[in-house]
Amino acid sequence: MANNIAIAYVDSIDVAKAKRIAQQWQLDYIGDIAAAKNHPHLQFVLQVNLQRLELKKLDEPKLGAICVDFVDGATAHRRKFGGGRGQDIAKAVGLKHGFTPHVLDATAGLGRDAFVLATLGCHVTMMERMPIVATLLEDGLARAQLSTDVNDITERMQLIHASSIADMNLAQQPDVIYLDPMYPHREKSAAVKKEMRVFQSLVGEDLDADHLLAPALALAKYRVVVKRPSYAPPLAGKAPSTSINMKKNRFDVYVNQAIPKNN
């Protein structure tokens, strides 16, 4: 794992959890978060804050901390008011009465779209190759399992820490594969969300994203769905079977075979 990131705790009740995560992911453990100033080489810190794991970019403290939260905040709002099966993402994956697919989210990130699909009844396998992001996802899932509001949803979610390009077939027979690779933002990106700014400085751009499409098409039973910014070309330059256009993004849908009609 990168040597520009370490793990720390915010409160003494978090010491044991911070040490356990450091050992599990082979991270440097620096103790109290205040010790970060003694390590000028660090760009990021994973801090355990009242049992919640958070990622901070040390040279941009105003960005705040990033965590995976399936219980509260924007995720809770979308769960309650997001539009159910009428959402564009539901249409893109082919969700309909009598068909609730097993979806492989092969670029899981912070797991938001995966959680939406699980909320709609899908079984979702999340694949994430970046260890730091996988750590945050694992922590978010573990905390969600303790919540009676969402634990029935997160039971339909599983995480695989692996590269989708090399190991996509670790996911067992997905009906649909969902891809949302990072794409370079246009100029004047001051308004880019804090998560994207932190992520792009942590993991860079998905320069090999085009290599995701071929293995996805080979593995998906029914279709591959690719989320793209409206201005971005199709993944790997391959025209989709159809697209669902939204205000800032679109879903490119590549159909392998028709979804079975409900008898």
- Annotated binding-site residue numbers for S-adenosyl-L-methionine: 112-113, 128-129, 163-164, 180
Cβ–Cβ under 8 Å, residues 113 and 137? no
Q: Rg for the chain (alpha carbons), in Å?
A: 19
Instruction: Enumerate residues 6+ apart whose C-beta is below 8 A from 191.
Output: none
Which residues neighbour 157 within 8 Å (Cβ) at sequence distance 6 or greater? 111, 114, 115, 118, 123, 124, 125, 126, 141
**Are the C-beta atoms of 55 and 44 separated by less than 8 Å?**
yes
Give the β-pairing of 44-49 and 52-57: antiparallel
Q: Please give the annotated binding residues, written as ranges.
A: 112-113, 128-129, 163-164, 180
